[in-house]
Structure 1
Amino acid sequence: MSNEPNDTHELADPDRREILRVASGAAIAGISAAAMALDSPAFAQKAAGADPRAATGDRNDAPLGARLQGVQHFGLTVQNMDRAFAFYTEVLGGTEVMRDGDFRGEKIHNTLLTDQEILARERGVNPRTIGVPDLKDGGQRLDVRFVQFDNVVIELLQYRDAQQPMGNGDSWAEPRDHMSPAYPRSMHICFYIRDDVDFNKFIHDLEAESARRGMTQVKANRVITVTSEQERLAAPLDANTNRITEGKSNGWSLIYCKGPEGEQLEFVQALGPVKKTFEDAMADRRRMLAADGG
């Protein structure tokens, strides 16, 4: 398979491609209409009446929902990256945004897997037995690819052994029903935090509000090593955010968090170069659909 974006691949069934093209055009039209409504003076006035803090740009003390700008992507941990990528691009018609990978080291390990490390210690078991790869020392690596659809992005993730080639080999772990995000078939929902929101404070307030409602399962990871729930809670505020400042993901901030049912959530903020990468991918897709008559 080529490493180039698959925005020119034809589906095997031309009628199905035409259906997808028409549906894609309708989806983009709906998104554009929604964007126009959001930018309208009437909407701004309504927003100001509902919460003056949002209208003045001071969102950090606004309700949590006012500090979000929707879902950024859905994530799926896969067993075979090339196979999954082919399905979402060649079969379902998505287009590649970008790919990055070979992620390893203590910071990314802690960002993604702190809660599972704590659980392993509490149970007195080897972290590997509950699906925790060794990203910290590089025994395993993480690769990602982002696939653009008209109104959502899907992130494909593969955790592989360091000796395993990118893309066409099997995942480090077998598919199992566990909570670790490293297991194939694991999924997560990623929420997009607005550009002008303090990421660290958002995570702090999210945990506090959830605890107030008795949702004790809502726990965010930390970027520093903690070995107990008490240490996690005592971590400094700036440990709530993993800010990436180099490579293709430069400008990306993230943290993983469990939801109230134990589901895997992610919160991100995309600024600088990586924000432009996603904006360019959407613009390219719209041009492609326009050229196809959408």
Structure 2
Amino acid sequence: MEIEQEKTDAPHDARRRELIRAAGLAAVASVAGVSTFAPPAAKAAPVGSRGVLGARLQGAQHFGITVQNMDRAYEFYTQVLGGTEIMRDGDFQGDVIHNTLLLVEELEAAERHVNPRTLGIPDLRGGAQRLDVRFIQFDNVVIELLQYRDSSQPQGSGASFAPPHENTSPAFPKSMHVCFYIRDDVDFNQFVRDLEAEAAKRGMINVKANRIVSSPSEQERQRAPLNTLTNRITSGKSDGWTLIYAKGPEGEQLEFVQVRGQAKKVFGEAYEARRRQAG
């Protein structure tokens, strides 16, 4: 049966790669003030100009978030933040996909003589757990939502196979975050307030943004003045960069930024320099 699974996985994965590739990304173009950018397909930069491997790359493809509730996360990224679905796939299982995603962690569990599940390793090999994915397109980034669930759980609304880890600080090594770019003409402070309100209307009360002032309680955080919802940098190399960190509905780390003035100039010059380097 495993041999049959390997045979069927190969074209399945190939179709998946083609669909993802077709989605494309504009990478840093929007931050640099450029609406679209397609890297030259036929002319790669000299190997030495970007390093041995850099000349073979075309930028970031997507960011992935492993979620507890697929339908809830999907609703947030499409209905609240306005992304559009590229594709969804799921019920991934079998030896090939298990090894592809989890072999290093599985070997670590064996070396430590612990149950693989205690290290967050689902059993995709035997099919006790399955993997579902959904890809969501934004203007300059693709977000992949992943859920690992027990085989008895339904796709989308079913429970995850394991609880989330307790370490939510972005300062922990191996933490990740997704950054969204806010248009220059948007009132950033109001955007943050509306983000929390829109999520709360959908029952996502754990969508919370930081403030730039200390808050002794959750109530005080909510009552903080509107002008404390974003950090606007007005000096130094980051002049023109405005940001805030927030938690998404799954507890994932998000960042929202505006890039104007000096910061936008710096990004724009770097973008144009890279284009010239690519020939």
- TM-score tier by shorter-chain length is 0.3 to 0.5
The higher radius of gyration belongs to 2
TM-score (norm 1): 0.44
Structure number with the higher helix fraction is 1
- The TM-score normalised by the length of structure 2 is 0.46
